[in-house]
């Protein structure tokens, strides 16, 4: 029997990281000391009060049964309180908040809920690969909107043609941005809301890195007047509280969009484990370790930036996220330079091409190892340009 993939899977972009993954494994098998700056997965532990709340919650037999699809009301209340405290935004926890099994789940389900076959989804490029993948799996058509250094890695929405806009159903934004670490102003968000309203486009904002900042606190899209008429915002406890493996997040905003996500979830999953939602309530209420987390990454950022700049790389300290996004040296494309870094000096960095065609010419380094290892990574990468 020949097993053939569905056409929707065949349409997915090639997994450009596979070659690097294989090369990394080969280097490690040789006994090479590899410093992995490729994965955006915090190495810091989840704060203890959150873990303790989880331990108690696991023992509660009420949580051993099926959870609600939209999430515990108490968790949604905690989300609403956090939004009020952090952004000054009032949300109705009953109709404007939904619990997610990590923000990736909600982002992945948005095209499935709202995009018909052939309709266009405007996706930032470079950007989180799920925007494109989810669109293709929903039989939509991704349209790549360039993020360039000249515009501070903000999209120029005015350049999108009327023909494209007439077919566009969703627009994804992500600030603070992965992979570029760019931050958006409230003025930009106001322009994006006006754009979405003018063209009848659903605006989806991925705010997973909003708490990972080193200067002024980033804004929520929901701070914009009228945002809830056209938009939904995705958030996650993963980066803020070092809970990537716990899989807990939320979406807030437009009631109809929240209901659309709920309808998908009722047919595909059974909701987030309630004990984890209890832990999420503890995290949002206590905000444990958040400032300490920022300080750790600030110090790591400064160490790696110093090392790379000293070696001649064109890199500036990001104002948010735990990523450095910088151009590759002359004479290389992003894949070639990433392979060279791994094979010659044992450092894993992510090629920009993996985030889209406009990511070519850049690489991303994640600050998810200790300061000492980052200092060593900077020294090793320096050998490639001296």
- The span from the CA of 144 to the CA of 122, in Å, is 6
CATH class of 48-286: alpha beta
What are 253's strand-pairing partners? Answer: 232
| Residue 22: predicted pLDDT | 82
Q: Domain spans of the chain?
A: 7-45+290-382, 48-286
pLDDT tens-digit readout, 125-139? 999 999 999 999 999
Structure tokens belonging to residue 164: 């494209």
Distance CA 319, CA 124 (A): 20
Which of left, alpha, beta for 181 (phi over 0: left; psi -120 to 50: alpha)? left
- 7-45+290-382 belongs to CATH 3.90.1150.10: yes
pLDDT at 23: 81
What would the 3-class secondary structure string for the chain be?
A: CCCCCCHHHHCCCCCCCHHHHHHHHHHHHCCCCCEECCCCCCCCCCCHHHHHHHHHHHCCHHHHCCCCCCCCHHHHHHHHHHHHHHHCCCCCCCCCEEEECCHHHHHHHHHHHHCCCCCEEEEEECCCCHHHHHHHHCCCEEEEEECCHHHCCCCCHHHCCHHHHHHEEEEEEECCCCCCCCCCCHHHHHHHHHHHHHHCCEEEEECCCCCCECCCCCCCHHHCCCHHHHEEEEEECCCCCCCCCCCCEEEEECHHHHHHHHHHHHHHCCCCCHHHHHHHHHHHHHCCCHHHHHHHHHHHHHHHHHHHHHHCCCCCCCCECCEEEEECCCCCCHHHHHHHHHHHHCEECEEHHHHCHHHCCEEEEECCCCHHHHHHHHHHHHCCCC
Give the number of other CB atoms < 10 A from CB of residue 16: 16
pLDDT in tens, 192-233: 999 999 999 999 999 999 999 999 999 999 999 999 999 999
Percentage above 70 pLDDT, the chain:
99
Across 125-160, b (16+ Cβ under 10 Å) vs e yields bbbbbbbbbbbbbbbbbbbbbbbeeeeebbbebeeb
- Of 99, 105, 95, the C-alpha closest to 273 is 99
What is the predicted pLDDT for the residue at 93?
Answer: 98
316-375 confidence digits (pLDDT tens) = 999 999 999 999 999 999 999 999 999 999 999 999 999 999 999 999 999 999 999 999
pLDDT by residue (tens digit) across 46-104?
999 999 999 999 999 999 999 999 999 999 999 999 999 999 999 999 999 999 999 99
């Amino acid at each position: 029997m020949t097993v053939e993939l569905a056409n929707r899977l065949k349409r997915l972009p090639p997994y450009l990281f596979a070659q690097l993954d294989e090369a990394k494994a080969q280097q490690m098998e040789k006994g090479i000391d590899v410093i992995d700056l490729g994965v955006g997965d915090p190495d810091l532990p989840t704060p203890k009060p959150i873990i303790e709340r989880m331990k108690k919650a696991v023992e509660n037999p009420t949580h051993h049964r099926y959870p609600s699809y939209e999430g515990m009301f108490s968790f949604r209340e905690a989300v609403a309180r956090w939004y009020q405290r952090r952004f000054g935004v009032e949300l109705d926890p009953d109709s404007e908040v939904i619990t997610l099994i990590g923000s990736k789940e909600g982002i992945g389900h948005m095209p499935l809920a709202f995009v018909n076959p052939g309709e266009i989804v405007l996706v930032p490029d470079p950007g989180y690969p799920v925007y494109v993948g989810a669109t293709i799996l929903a039989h939509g058509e991704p349209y790549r909107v360039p993020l360039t250094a000249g515009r501070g890695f903000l999209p120029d929405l005015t350049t999108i043609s009327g023909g494209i806009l007439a077919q566009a159903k969703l627009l994804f934004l992500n600030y603070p941005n992965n992979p570029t670490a760019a931050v958006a102003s409230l003025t930009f968000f106001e322009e994006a809301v006006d754009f979405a309203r003018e063209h009848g486009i659903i605006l989806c904002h991925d705010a997973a890195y909003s708490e990972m900042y080193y200067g002024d606190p980033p804004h929520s899209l929901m701070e914009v007047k009228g945002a809830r008429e056209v938009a939904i915002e995705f958030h996650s406890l993963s980066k803020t509280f070092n809970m990537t493996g716990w899989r807990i997040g939320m979406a807030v905003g437009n009631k109809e969009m929240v209901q659309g996500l709920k309808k998908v979830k009722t047919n595909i999953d059974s909701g987030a484990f309630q004990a984890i939602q209890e832990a999420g309530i503890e995290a949002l209420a206590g905000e444990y370790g958040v400032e300490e987390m920022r300080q750790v990454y600030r110090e790591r950022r400064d160490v790696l930036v110093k090392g790379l700049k000293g070696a001649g790389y064109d890199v500036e300290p990001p104002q948010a996220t735990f990523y450095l996004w910088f151009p590759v040296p002359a004479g290389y494309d992003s894949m070639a330079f990433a392979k060279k870094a791994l094979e010659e000096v044992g450092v894993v960095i992510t090629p920009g091409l993996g985030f889209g065609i406009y990511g070519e010419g850049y690489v991303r380094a994640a600050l998810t190892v200790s300061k000492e290892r980052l200092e060593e990574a900077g020294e090793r990468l320096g050998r490639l340009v001296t």
